[in-house]
Chain A
C-alpha cells in the first residue's frame, strides 16, 4: 500500500516537473526574463574565471604573435612600403574630393552626419553554446554600456550589445541568425536588412526583385537603427542569385571586419542629438 502511494507521489512529481519545463519553454519572453535572473549569479561567478582565462590566453597569443612578427618582418616591410605609396596617392585624391565635398555642402547648407563617440573594449570570450554567434566583452553596466549599442571595428561593424551585466556584456555578432541590421548598397542606394545564418555567413534580404546588385558591391549601414550611424562599412557582396518565383534576390556578403579573430572592439555610444 505504502509502496503504491510512493509510486503515485513520484508520478505526480514527474508530471509537475514536466509541466514546469513545458511552461518555461513555451512562455513568452517577459515571463522568462525574471526566471533568467537565476543565471546571473552563475554568470557573475563564471565571469571572474573567464577574465583570468582570457588574460592567460591573450598573454600566450601575444608572445606567439610577437615571435611570428619577428620571423616575417622583412617581408612585411616590403609589403607595407608598397602599400604606403599606394595609400599616399589615394589620400591626395581623397583630400581633393573632401575639399570639393565641403564646398558643395556649404553651398547646399547640408549638415555633415554626426559620428558617435566610441569606447574601446577587450573581447574576453566567445559564445559557450554551439548555437549563437556572440562574444563577451569586458565593459558592462558599470562602465556605461547599455543594450542595443552598436559594436564595430575600424574595418566594419561587428554586432549589437544584447545583454548587459555589471562587469561585462554580451554582443550578438552580425553573423548570428537573430541579428538584423538595416543596410544599403553603396552603388545602387537600395535598402535591405542583413541577417546571419547558422553557418556563420551574412545574408542580405528584402532588396527589390529588380535590384541591380552585383558581386563586389559595397554594403554600408543605412542609419535606420540607433545602434549604427549611416555609412559604416558592413561588407562586400560575394554571391547574388535570382531564384525563379522568389520575392527578392538571394545575396550573400563577406563581413568587412574579421569576426573570427576579434580581440578588441569599439562600442558606439549614441549620438547626443540623434
Chain B
C-alpha cells in the first residue's frame, strides 16, 4: 500500500528529499539530541548510520560525495583541526557502496554485519591515525567500554531505521547479477554513479 501523497509527488522525489533531510539532520541531531538518549555515555553514531544506509542504495561516486560532506561538517564541529573525517568518510562511503553491490542477497539480516564492521573500521582507523593510548590496558578498557557497546548500539539503531525505510521504499536491486558480473569480469555492470 502506498500513501496518496507518495503517488502524487513521485516516490523518487520523496526518496531524494528524505535522503537530503537525513544528511542535513544527522550531524545536528548527533550533537544535541543523541547525548540525551546515551546509555552509559554511549551514543549511536548517526552520521555513520546515515552514510552507510545511503551508500548501500546509491553508487560509489554519490556515496563518496555525501561522505565527504558529512565528514567536512564533522571536521568543522569537532575539536580536531584536520580534514580527517572528510577523507575517511568519503572512503567509507565509497567502500560501502562497492561492497553493497557485490554482497549476495543483500537484505536486512546482513545489514548488522555491515554496520558493525563500518563502526569498528572507523574506530580502528582513528586509533591507528591518532595513536592515543599510552598503555595496552587503556586500549583494552576503551575497546570493552566504548568501542563494542557503541558498535552494538549503532547497529541496533541502524537496523531499525533500515527496516522502516525498506518497508516504505523497497529498493529494486540485482545483487546476484552484480556479484556475478564483478567476479566474472572484474567490473560492475552499468555506470558507477
A-B interaction = yes
Chain A interface residues (CB < 8 Å from chain B): 7, 21, 24-25, 29, 32-33, 35-36, 38-40, 42-43, 45-47, 49-50, 52-54, 57, 61, 124-134, 136, 162-163, 165, 170, 172-173, 176-178, 197-200, 260
The answer to whether B83 touches A125 (Cβ under 8 A) is: no
**Chain B, interface residues (CB within 8 Å), range:** 35 or more
* B13 proximal to A (CB < 8 A): no
Which residues of the partner chain B approach A53 to less than 8 Å between Cβ atoms? Answer: 28-29, 32-33
Given contacts A21-B91, A124-B32, A128-B47, contact A198 B133 (CB under 8 A): yes
The answer to whether B76 touches A36 (Cβ under 8 A) is: yes
4 closest pairs, A vs B, by CB?
A: A125-B31, A134-B79, A43-B76, A39-B72
The answer to whether B76 touches A127 (Cβ under 8 A) is: no
Q: How far is the CA of A54 from the CA of B30 in the complex (A)?
A: 11
- 29 A-B pairs within 8 Å (CB atoms) are namely A21-B87, A21-B90, A24-B86, A24-B87, A25-B87, A25-B129, A29-B82, A32-B82, A39-B76, A43-B73, A46-B24, A50-B27, A53-B33, A57-B32, A125-B32, A126-B35, A129-B80, A130-B45, A130-B123, A131-B80, A134-B78, A134-B79, A172-B79, A178-B79, A198-B138, A199-B138, A199-B142, A199-B146, A260-B41
The answer to whether B80 touches A128 (Cβ under 8 A) is: no
The answer to whether A54 touches B32 (Cβ under 8 A) is: yes
Within the complex, the shortest CB–CB distance from A240 to chain B, in Å, comes to: 16
- What residue of chain B has the Cβ atom nearest to residue A129's Cβ? B78
The answer to whether A57 touches B33 (Cβ under 8 A) is: yes
Choose one: A7, A132, A163; the contact of B76 (CB below 8 Å): A163
Which residues of the partner chain B approach A131 to less than 8 Å between Cβ atoms? Answer: 78, 80, 126, 130
- What residue of chain B has the Cβ atom nearest to residue A171's Cβ? B79
Choose one: B73, B82, B150; the contact of A130 (CB below 8 Å): B150
Which residues of the partner chain B approach A134 to less than 8 Å between Cβ atoms? Answer: 78-79
The answer to whether A57 touches B36 (Cβ under 8 A) is: yes
The answer to whether A128 touches B31 (Cβ under 8 A) is: yes
* B85 proximal to A (CB < 8 A): yes
* B77 proximal to A (CB < 8 A): yes
Which residues of the partner chain A approach B145 to less than 8 Å between Cβ atoms? Answer: 199
The answer to whether A127 touches B138 (Cβ under 8 A) is: no
- What residue of chain B has the Cβ atom nearest to residue A165's Cβ? B76
Choose one: A32, A38, A128, A173; the contact of B74 (CB below 8 Å): A128
Q: How far is the CA of A196 from the CA of B41 in the complex (A)?
A: 17
Given contacts A42-B76, A46-B73, contact A198 B30 (CB under 8 A): no
Which residues of the partner chain A approach B146 to less than 8 Å between Cβ atoms? Answer: 130, 198-199
- What residue of chain B has the Cβ atom nearest to residue A125's Cβ? B31
The answer to whether B123 touches A127 (Cβ under 8 A) is: no
- What residue of chain A has the Cβ atom nearest to residue B123's Cβ? A130
Given contacts A53-B28, A177-B132, contact A128 B81 (CB under 8 A): no
- Those of B92-128 within 8 Å (CB) of chain A: 122-123, 126
Which residues of the partner chain A approach B33 to less than 8 Å between Cβ atoms? Answer: 53, 57
- What residue of chain B has the Cβ atom nearest to residue A172's Cβ? B79
* B62 proximal to A (CB < 8 A): no
